[in-house]
A and B are shown apart, each in its own frame.
Chain A
Amino acid sequence: DTAVSQTPKYLVTQMGNDKSIKCEQNLGHDTMYWYKQDSKKFLKIMFSYNNKELIINETVPNRFSPKSPDKAHLNLHINSLELGDSAVYFCASSLSPKNIQYFGAGTRLSVL
């Protein structure tokens, strides 16, 4: 059983489209995250939700909107996709207070 699962694994789309990436964890964790890894391989936090409440919101364009319907899910919706959004997006989860993060396999987004 995959602990943190993301769908889709690959996403190819045109500029201007709207797309969503889904994340689910079956670890019973209370905190979930979205990270972006760009072409230079830098990993940066985008958002974090603890018990469905937003606790980290880094400088990310408001075209990116996370949604946490429950503690086991954190989805990422992206409006009006741009070329610069091409990257690998990783979802992660952790359990307070230790907050050791477990990552999904990533979603490779390519905007053409």
Chain B
Amino acid sequence: DAKTTQPTSMDCAEGRAANLPCNHSTISGNEYVYWYRQIHSQGPQYIIHGLKNNETNEMASLIITEDRKSSTLILPHATLRDTAVYYCIVRLFSGAGSYQLTFGKGTKLSVIP
């Protein structure tokens, strides 16, 4: 799996958009970008994933650059409950290489009242 680089921590004001960047310059053509988060003392939670097009769901938006070397997770209106560690993970979508999630250190997002 390609390695990812994320900032260690970020702050965001409540109600504002939280933009979490991720660099994955060694991503290969058939690897997807996944985002998970872990709220304190809970199990990780899937947020969103994408290949090259921008994606949106009820939780967040994922913007992937045209060269696919970086991406940004956007939480449009951050709430205090979004305070968590956010993990950007690159891996295959299906097949033998798709089973393993390799978690890095992630970004600790603190939403401030």
Contact = CB atoms under 8 A, between A and B. Distances in A.
Contacts of A97: 93-95, 98
A47 to B, nearest CB: 10
Interface stretch (B7-15, B38-46, B71-79): B38-46
Contacts, number: 56
A101 B43 CA distance: 11
Interface SS of chain B: loop
Interface string B63-90: 0000000000000000000000100000
Contacts of A104: 43
Nearest to B97: A99
Nearest to B96: A55
Given A48-B99, A99-B93, A106-B41, 9 more contacts: A35-B101, A41-B105, A43-B44, A96-B94, A99-B94, A99-B98, A101-B101, A102-B46, A103-B44
